[in-house]
Amino acid sequence: MSGAMTMKENDNAQIGQATMGSLAGLKVIDVSRVLGAPYCTQILADHGAEVIKIEPPQGDETRGWGPPFLGDAASYFLGLNRNKKGMAVDFSQPAGREVLLHLLEDADVFVENFKVGTLEKWGIGQEMLSERFPKLVHCRVSGFGADGPYGGRPGYDAAIQALSGIMSVNGELGGDALRVGLPVVDMVTGLNAAIGVLLALQERNKSGKGQFVEAALYDCGISLLHPHLPNYYLNGKVAKPSGNAHPNISPYDTFATKTGALFLAVGNNRQFMTLCKILDLSDVAEDARFANNAERNKNRDALKEKLEAALAGHECAVIAETLITSGVPCGAVRSIDEVVNDPHTIARGMIVDIEDYRGTGSPVKLSRTPASYRRKPPAFAQHTDELMAQAGLDPQEFADVLPRKTTS
């Protein structure tokens, strides 16, 4: 059987590829904190990159964003820093910046979210980095970017939700603007940062040169305003909060049932006709007011009344299963514990357990080189000695800039 792998050998090769991940061999220096940028680097780490997370002497502030806590870290920190090695360095001192430059010598990617101008103040701005490390991809996550009227200002998710208009379209119909109940701007900024890094690495394969990648929370918040911005470009109308209802599609809203709220996401006439058939609403199916999406949008209040009257006699979970298996997109409105305990959540690999750590799995599924979960988030400065040795540096020589435990 020379020249061909046995089934066992092929299986072993597949396992090896899966363990490495698609970004195996990539080295990332991550000096970022809080959410957007650490989320970016966790994505890279899950897919095989070696990510070295360097915290300031006081630690990433999200270590204290609890309870709950596991060891020295709050759940907030644990959710963003899996698969990383950790050390701490005081960059405010020249010796600390020297350590950083040593670590960057063989790095592919540098991710940071310092306030704009901080690196320049320290003498290690983008111009200097690009000259010294021409192949380095330098990714900055910031609040507003470096230029424009707001350039250099700090940004946090909720403030950007307010400024970018997201809050203005979120909330109950006729109610006040409301923050989306998760850090959607931070997380999409992290996603865009990861995409930007991968785009720059792909281009580097052709040019041999790195480049600067910027992902600003403000830009990313604005990018999320679909379909509200396209609607405004076309009709000039300013969107307001509309509860769970969609501004362009009907029925696309929550509807009361006998036992709970059901979300219907009916996107075309075929789905609508199936819905009417299952709910025994032949009169609705034949009503000209509901003949197509445009008409249903005009008459959404009357349609909701008829649908809720028909759903009032149905158990939410039962009718949801009947509808979805018949081709009508829908879902019962569920709590967090119900999502975690759903067999499909488990089957999709969305729950990760490493020793005493539990986290959320990667939503990106690759057939040959899937994400892997190799190490739980690091304790503060856990790998300092190991990483210094790899860089050929004596930890004792740099002891003054290598904090070993948080000061809080």
Q: Taking the alpha carbons of 242, 248, 254, 255 in that order, is the dihedral positive or negative?
A: positive
Distance between CA 105 and CA 311 in Å, rounded? 64
Residue type, 242: S
Q: What is the DSSP letter of 65?
A: S
The residue with tokens 């907030």 is 76
State the DSSP string of 92-143.
TSHHHHHHHHHHHTT-SEEEE-PPTTHHHHTT--HHHHHHH-TT-EEEEEES
User: Is residue 313 helix, strand or coil?
Assistant: coil
Burial class of residue 213 (count of CB atoms within 10 Å of its CB; 0-12, 13-18, 19+): buried
How much of the chain is in helix, strand and coil states, percent to nearest 5?
40, 15, 45
Distance between CA 27 and CA 49 in Å, rounded? 6
Q: Is residue 89 a contact partner of residue 402, using CB atoms and an 8 Å limit?
A: yes
Structure tokens at 232: 């405004």
Q: Is residue 37 a contact partner of residue 59, using CB atoms and an 8 Å limit?
A: no
Structure tokens at 162: 């307010």
User: Is residue 293 helix, strand or coil?
Assistant: helix
Catalytic residue IDs: 186
Structure tokens at 100: 């950083």
Q: What is the DSSP letter of 169?
A: G
